[in-house]
């Protein structure tokens, strides 16, 4: 099959998901290509593009795509449609809100010209993060209902995401599947803490949705409760990074919270003894899976699909608030070895979150949709 993955932002979990899926699809003989935004990402993402470009028979095409709806969308859509027409896909798989819209609309346009195309959509959270009662939520969910009519299959990365879609948007004519994000076998090798590793570690986008502000405030409250001078490392990029650096300085952490730009996750894992995932919203975050596979103890907020990784009653799960995060951080510091033993086992994770399992399921749905 000729498979084209379309998405806007080549950062974070969506980019990781598409890279892994594309590599697995090429390994089984498919011709795969990527179409995404050219204005998002930096040197860190450029390295991944350099690696993946050489592996994809249909190549990587980057063109400007704006995040929010606006007049520029018309020109962006026309540019993207031109690229996709040239690639002649059998499967057009959109990821995220904008990629999903492009894949379904352009797939429908290709069908009108006589080409049989499977129109596939993976939300990855996307517009589902909007409040159903807000004007923006009502608008975007209305659009999703309309596009449900031109969708052949929906892939959800967590049961939470699937239920959120059905609650906020409703059932559509499209078939749907739950397919968890998957890791490669090599990622289940433990990562040891570096000498002098910090007490706590944050890895993720520097934006409020991911909770960096909660992490910094919780670290301060933990200091106050324990009477200890704590150290942390925060790894990631984003427009709000200066705000978090200023917050850390204002709370007296100028020398004790070290900020690093985005780097390979397994390199970052060694920089702190316990990782904290303070997200306010998630779908199925890769970083949680990667950390657990590497043997990293985590404190994580019980949002989105995260409880599906740990189990609902896991002691690692907390509410996304400063008080709840701090309380758990205090408990971890009291006995770090015992806390590490509470994490899910590697064997359990391999059986549920393997990249091979993910790719096989998706490949089977592609074939069924095309009648192969």
Other beta carbons less than 10 A from residue 333's beta carbon = 18
- Structural contact between residues 96 and 14, judged by C-beta atoms closer than 8 angstroms: yes
Please enumerate in sequence order all residues whose Cβ is within 8 A of that of 129, keeping only pairs 6 or more positions apart, or say none: 209, 281
Please enumerate in sequence order all residues whose Cβ is within 8 A of that of 248, keeping only pairs 6 or more positions apart, or say none: 216, 254, 257, 259
120, 215: one domain: no
274, 364: one domain: no
Q: What is the count of structural domains for the chain?
A: 2
204, 326: one domain: yes
241, 317: one domain: yes
207, 72: one domain: no
Residue with tokens 């009108």, as numbered in its chain? 112
Residue with tokens 């798989």, as numbered in its chain? 93
Which of 85, 123, 30 lies closest to 359, judged by CA?
30
What tokens appear for 139 in the block? 């608008």
- Structural contact between residues 235 and 262, judged by C-beta atoms closer than 8 angstroms: yes
10, 120: one domain: yes
- Structural contact between residues 292 and 349, judged by C-beta atoms closer than 8 angstroms: yes
- Structural contact between residues 222 and 326, judged by C-beta atoms closer than 8 angstroms: yes
DSSP state of 128: G
pLDDT tens sequence for the chain (372 residues): 999 999 999 988 899 999 999 999 999 999 999 999 999 888 888 999 999 999 999 999 999 998 777 778 899 999 999 999 999 999 999 999 999 999 999 999 999 999 999 999 999 887 888 888 899 899 989 999 999 999 999 999 999 999 999 999 998 888 999 999 999 899 999 999 999 999 999 999 999 999 999 999 999 999 999 999 999 999 999 999 999 999 999 999 999 999 999 999 999 999 999 999 999 998 889 999 999 999 999 999 999 999 999 987 899 999 999 999 999 999 999 999 999 999 998 888 888 898 888 999 999 999 999 998
SS3 content of the chain, % helix, strand, coil (to 5): 50, 15, 35
Domain with 341 in it: what CATH number?
3.40.50.2000
268, 159: one domain: no
Q: Which helix (H) or strand (E) holds 214?
A: helix 212-226
- Structural contact between residues 210 and 11, judged by C-beta atoms closer than 8 angstroms: no
pTM of the predicted structure, to 2 decimals: 0.83
Residue with tokens 């970083």, as numbered in its chain? 287
Residue with tokens 């020109």, as numbered in its chain? 75
- C-alpha to C-alpha distance for 338 and 179, rounded to whole angstroms: 32
140, 223: one domain: no
DSSP state of 193: P
For residue 21, what are the domain limits? 2-182+354-370
């Amino acid at each position: 099959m000729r498979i084209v993955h379309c998405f806007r932002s080549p950062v974070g979990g969506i980019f990781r998901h598409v890279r892994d899926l594309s590599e697995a699809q090429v390994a089984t003989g498919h011709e795969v290509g990527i179409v995404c935004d050219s204005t998002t990402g930096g040197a860190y993402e450029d390295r991944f593009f350099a690696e993946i470009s050489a592996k994809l028979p249909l190549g990587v095409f980057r063109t400007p795509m704006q995040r929010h709806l606006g007049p520029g969308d018309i020109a962006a859509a026309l540019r993207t449609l031109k690229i996709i027409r040239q690639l002649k896909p059998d499967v057009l798989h959109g990821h995220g809100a904008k990629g999903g819209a492009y894949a379904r609309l352009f797939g429908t346009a290709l069908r009108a010209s006589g080409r049989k195309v499977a129109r596939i959509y993976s939300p990855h959270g996307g517009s589902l993060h909007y409040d159903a009662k807000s004007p923006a939520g009502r608008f975007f969910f209305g659009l999703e209902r309309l596009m449900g009519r031109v969708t052949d299959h929906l892939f959800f990365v967590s049961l939470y995401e699937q239920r959120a879609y059905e609650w906020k948007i409703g059932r559509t004519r499209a078939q749907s599947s739950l397919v968890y994000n998957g890791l490669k076998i090599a990622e289940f090798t433990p990562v040891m803490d570096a000498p002098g590793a910090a007490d706590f570690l944050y890895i993720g986008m520097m934006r409020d949705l991911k909770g960096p502000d909660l992490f910094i405030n919780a670290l301060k409250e933990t200091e106050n409760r324990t009477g200890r001078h704590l150290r942390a490392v925060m790894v990631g990029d984003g427009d709000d990074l200066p705000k978090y650096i200023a917050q850390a300085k204002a709370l007296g952490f100028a020398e004790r919270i070290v900020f690093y730009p985005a780097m390979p996750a397994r390199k970052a894992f060694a920089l702190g003894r316990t990782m904290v995932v303070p997200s306010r919203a998630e779908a199925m975050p890769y970083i949680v899976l990667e950390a657990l596979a590497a043997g990293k103890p985590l404190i994580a907020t019980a949002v989105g699909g995260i409880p599906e990784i740990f189990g609902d009653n896991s002691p690692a799960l907390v509410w996304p608030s400063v008080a709840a995060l701090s309380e758990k951080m205090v408990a971890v510091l009291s006995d770090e070895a015992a806390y590490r033993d509470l994490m899910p086992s590697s064997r359990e994770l391999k059986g549920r979150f393997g990249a091979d399992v993910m790719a096989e399921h998706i490949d089977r749905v592609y074939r069924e949709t095309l009648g192969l």
